[in-house]
Every structure is written in structure tokens, then in C-alpha cells.
Amino acid sequence: MSETCNLYFIHCLTPLHIGAGEGAGIIDMPIIREKLTGWPFVPGSSVKGVQRDYFRHHSFGQADQEWLETLFGSDLQQSKEAADTVAGAIALSDARMLAFPVASSVGTFAYVSCPLAIKRLLRDMGAANLSLLPELDWANIVSVLEKEDRALVGFKDAVILHHNPRQAAQVTVELDEFQCKAEVDAALGLWVDQLAAYLFVDEFSKQMFRERFVLLPDEAFQYMVRNCCEIIPRIRLQEETKTTVRGALWSEEYIPAEAVLYGLTWCDHTGTSQQARASRQFVERLSQAEQVVQMGANASVGKGRVRFRVVGGGE
């Protein structure tokens, strides 16, 4: 990959719906999921379209318009001939699930992840030559999570921990309908602390992420992302009577608010200095401050508001 490769994060502020069309099951409008894992994801084309739209509305003057075209390519609708079109310099990968919010009977909710999600993140970072996070104690992670009903947290004062007053040594997390015995991993705590620094700007959000992060076995995480997404019923009303239109009742699936996804962005065309410079400027603009943008469907009912951040070796 190019030396301009960087990591980006998406943090859902409201539920997010990237649709997969009409569903064949009980959910009428399901979200798009990876075929291999069944985990929700955000296609790179959706991320790139949102970024193009954002900079189109935040660019001024001819220089910015030329920068926009170099970065994202020519607008086919405005081009007079197909020969006039130019491919964009920037590439954005699909955004994969990293931390999934799950209801907790203690502390309201937790950010849940698993070894497979973290290993995929580290593998993608390795392919991009990014070394941003401290080492994890994989031997301890494997030894703990291979036991039945076990979970790992980074800090002993995590707000999701339930302390049994009758057994001082017994500490558990209660997520959705499941209960797991929790153990503290100091290396995981350092890793989560650094990740929180990349994800969030304000200290409140950083602390909330640190205190609520929990690592579960892959199979438990698989269950959560498949069965704990938000399902919202929708109806359409008749304008005159304000009653439901006959048959106009459907359900929509959403990635819940607080979910965290990640992806890679890089310069796909390094043939010209102009393209490389445009890609560097894109990363610089997004590294200086986070974006709050709308992504996916149902913007008019408050869905799809996300935070978008880019980090790299210079962070």
C-alpha cells in the first residue's frame, strides 16, 4: 500500500442504516452484512460518497474545486464526454466492526469486541505499515477466553462490573441475557487507553470507552452482532385522516448508536505529485478535527449521524 495510508474510525452517534434491500426474513429492511462473518459493515463506496459530499459543501474557490476533482474524480453528470473523466486519487476501504454496544444490567451498556475483530484491525494496520497501538498479551487472552463464560476488561474499576457481596473475589459482567466472569488484563487496559485517545477528542468520551470496553470470545461477539442490532418499526400515515395506510407497516434494522467501526484510506494513484499532495491534504484536514456527518438512510428522522476521524503515523 501507499505511504499515504491511514486509519479512519466511524463512531455512530445515532442508529445507522446502510440497507441491503428488502429482506426475506422477519426484518423487512435489513442492514448490509459481511457474507463470511455476518457482521455489519459500511461499504467503502458509502464512506467515499459522504466524504465527497462533505467537501463539496465545505470547499470554496476554484482551487478547492480542482482539489476535490483530483481527490474524488470527475463528476460524470457534469462531464461533457466520458473521455474527460478522471479517476479519483483517494481510496477508502469498507469500514469493519470493532466495538459493538450491548445493553448491560450494570452500567447501562458496554463496548463489546473479540479477538478476531482486534486481529483483523492489527492485520490491516500491518498492511498499511501503521504502528499505533501497544502490544497485547495474547497468551493471557487465549488462556482466559478459552474457559467457559469468561470475559476480559482493561480496568478493575470498570463501570460494567458486578461485584458479588457474598463472594468478594467474584466479579462478573452481565451483557444482554448472558453473565460472564470477568478478569482484568493490564495490557488490554493500556491498549484500550491508546485506542480511546484515537477515537475521541473529549475526555468524557475517552473515559466512558475505557470503563465500558469488554473483550468476549469470538462466538459470543458473533451472537451479539447478529442478534442485538436495533429493530425499529415504521408506519406511513394517510395525510387526511392521520391513520395508518393499509399495509404500510414495516421494520428496519440499524447498527446501534455508539458502535465503532474502522477502515483504511490511502492514495490509490501516485503517478503525479498533484494526486499525492491532494491525498495528504485530505488526511491533514481530517486529522486536525473530527467530522460529524450524515451517512446512510433516513436522515429526516435523525438517523445516520456519525463521527469520522482519521489517524496515522503522525498522530
**Residue-wise pLDDT tens digits, 285-310:** 776 668 899 998 888 888 999 999 99
- The residue ranges of every structural domain in the chain are 1-18+44-93+259-315, 98-228
pLDDT of 12 reads 96
Pairing outcome for strands 178-184 and 150-153? parallel
pLDDT of 315 reads 44
Contacts of 42 (CB under 8 A, 6+ apart): 10, 16, 18, 94, 95, 261, 263, 295, 296
pLDDT of 268 reads 66
pLDDT of 129 reads 87
Q: Helices 218-227 and 115-127 meet at what angle, rounded to 10?
A: 90
Nine-digit cell string for 101: 454496544
Range 135-139 contact pairs with CB under 8 angstroms and sequence separation of 24 or more: 135/187, 136/187, 136/188, 136/191, 137/185, 137/186, 137/187, 137/188
Q: What is the CATH number assigned to the segment(s) 1-18+44-93+259-315?
A: 3.30.70
Spans of the chain below 50 pLDDT: 1, 314-315
Q: How far apart are CA 242 and CA 254, in angstroms?
A: 26
- In 188-223, which positions are buried (b, 16+ CB within 10 angstroms) versus exposed (e)? bbbbbbebbebbbeeeeebebbbbbbbbbbeebbbb
Q: Is the dihedral of CA 136, 140, 145, 149 positive or negative?
A: negative
CB of 309 closer than 8 Å to CB of 261: no
Residue found under cell 457474598: 166
Q: Helices 61-72 and 44-57 meet at what angle, rounded to 10?
A: 170
pLDDT of 20 reads 77
Pairing outcome for strands 95-104 and 260-267? antiparallel
